[in-house]
């Protein structure tokens, strides 16, 4: 039976927060369908979503017609400011938390998780400039300042933007093994060598 991974889209989502994990997970699920996973994007309503820097992407599903997810990825971006005070969105996240076995966030997506109460008494991280804000939103969070991502079992958070790629590769490792994650990493030729 196919297991579903969903990547949330919303207005002003940071492009790489969503597309980085998408590339990792879509490469994996397309190259190795025998692993039994598929990945789709969802938004409040299906259709086009304009991202933070002007890229328009398409949500396959709306909240009402999305499959039952085994993993949900909540990206960050400037749009998370509005989501942190959007009670309908926070309530939706709380409902998802009860149904989705693994909730993950990228960048400031963890701030939305915190606003929804999903990170209470947990270790977590976020974009470097938002670490103090994460602690302010919920003082019970053990803020991990230096971690690229934090795996706390049924909740994973990652640092900013490109860190979502690392988290997604870790997710592949968790779901399909280290060798599969190495194959995906090689497939997307991800081997960072920073210039400075």
| Catalytic site positions | 107
Q: Which of 16, 13, 86 lies closest to 43, judged by CA?
A: 13
Long-range interactions of 178-182: CB distance < 8 A, separation 24+: 180/28, 180/32, 180/35
Q: How far is CA 171 from CA 6, 20, 92, 175, 194, in A?
A: 13, 13, 23, 6, 23
d(CA 72, CA 105) in angstroms, rounded, equals 8
**What does the longest C-alpha to C-alpha distance in the chain come to?**
46
Query: Which of left, alpha, beta for 153 (phi over 0: left; psi -120 to 50: alpha)?
Result: left
d(CA 14, CA 9) in angstroms, rounded, equals 9
Q: Which of 38, 166, 167, 181 lies closest to 104, judged by CA?
A: 167
d(CA 35, CA 114) in angstroms, rounded, equals 32
């Amino acid at each position: 039976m196919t297991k579903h991974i969903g990547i949330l889209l919303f207005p002003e989502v940071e492009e790489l927060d969503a597309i980085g994990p998408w590339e990792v997970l879509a490469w994996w699920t397309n190259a190795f369908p025998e692993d039994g996973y598929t990945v789709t994007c969802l938004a409040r309503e299906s259709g086009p979503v304009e991202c933070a820097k002007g890229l328009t992407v398409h949500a396959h599903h709306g909240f009402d017609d999305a499959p039952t997810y085994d993993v949900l990825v909540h990206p960050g971006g400037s749009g998370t400011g509005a989501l942190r005070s959007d009670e309908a969105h926070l309530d939706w996240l709380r409902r998802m938390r009860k149904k989705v076995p693994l909730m993950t966030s990228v960048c400031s997506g963890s701030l939305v998780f915190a606003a929804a109460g999903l990170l209470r008494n947990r270790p977590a991280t976020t974009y470097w400039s938002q670490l103090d804000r994460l602690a302010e939103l919920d003082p019970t969070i053990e803020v991990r300042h230096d971690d690229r991502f934090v795996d706390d079992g049924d909740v994973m958070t990652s640092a900013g933007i490109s860190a979502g790629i690392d988290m997604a590769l870790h997710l592949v490792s968790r779901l399909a093994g280290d060798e599969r994650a190495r194959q995906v990493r090689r497939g997307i030729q991800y081997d960072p060598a920073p210039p400075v």
